[in-house]
Amino acid sequence: MDVGELLSKLAVGELSNLSMADEENGTIAEASQAKVIRYTNDALVKLYSRFILLEKSLLVQMIEGVTNYYLLKRFAQSRCGCDETDPIYIIDALEPFEEDLIKILEVKNECGETMTLNDLNDDCSLFTPRFNMLQVPSPINGGVLGISYQAKHRKLEPGVLEAQIWLPEVLEVAMISYVAGQVYSHMNGVDNSNKGTEYMSKYERECQMVIDRDLVNNTPTTSSNVFQSRGWI
């Protein structure tokens, strides 16, 4: 589905009785598209956080004396326009880091061994005190860690109707319900408020149905070791 298709579905469906929608032509008024796309971005963040729909990986090269590694563009090889005094430890020359991290899922060392995370009883454990920070108590200068992380959907921009929305078909109703719920919830009137609540409840029901029926594989599925794919071993 692309953005244009989403707007068309909303125009002939959930938003068809609103002035912003032209049901006959299946379009949303241009003046209202930015608002609808903003709500769509919100829905995608929630869905990509609730389900592991996209997993990515990156490499971090440790620096002696540096224990906190922030997963931000400013510390990446591909950075542009950032403070040149910041150290570079994210190795992403081949696939630039988009700062799209939701959650660190797994960390491996150069031998491909999975590192323990957030275990105070393990002297070799690494920690994630913040969602976008990896804490390495005993960094090895020049050593490399491979990080697998749950990633966000790329942000949609108003006016780009051909932009693709990457979402399993079983979650499309949930996304559309969330968007419609937000549109109605931000309108005046009790009826609109009730309509918004109705659609948000439908969003929750659709998500729970997907969970109950195990319709989305919510387990990381990286097929090859990040070090092998980047040529480190």
| Model confidence pLDDT, tens digit, residues 40-65 | 999 999 999 999 999 999 999 999 99
E-strand ranges in the chain read 21-22, 27-28, 55-61, 68-70, 90-91, 101-108, 127-130, 133-135, 144-151
Q: How would residue 223 be classed by pLDDT, with cut points 50, 70 and 90?
A: very low
Q: HSE-up of 5 (CA within 13 Å, CB side)?
A: 8
pLDDT digits (tens, 9 = 90+) for 86-137: 899 999 988 899 999 999 999 999 999 999 999 999 999 999 999 999 999 9
Give the whole-angstrom CA distance, residue 148 versus residue 114: 11
Q: What proportion of the chain, given as a percentage, has pLDDT over 70?
A: 91
The residue with tokens 């029926």 is 213
In order of 28, 79, 155, the CA distances from 66 in angstroms are 51, 19, 32
Tokens coding 138: 């005993």
Q: What is the DSSP letter of 161?
A: T
Average pLDDT for the chain: 92
Average pLDDT over residues 135-156: 96
Region for 215 from its dihedrals, namely left if φ exceeds 0, alpha if ψ lies in -120 to 50, beta otherwise = alpha
Give the whole-angstrom CA distance, residue 104 versus residue 134: 8
Amino acid type, 223: S
pLDDT at 233 over 70: no
Note the pLDDT of residue 221.
Answer: 45
Domains of the chain, by residue range, sit at 3-51+157-212, 55-151
Is residue 136 classed as helix, strand or coil in its secondary structure? coil
pLDDT at 66 over 70: yes
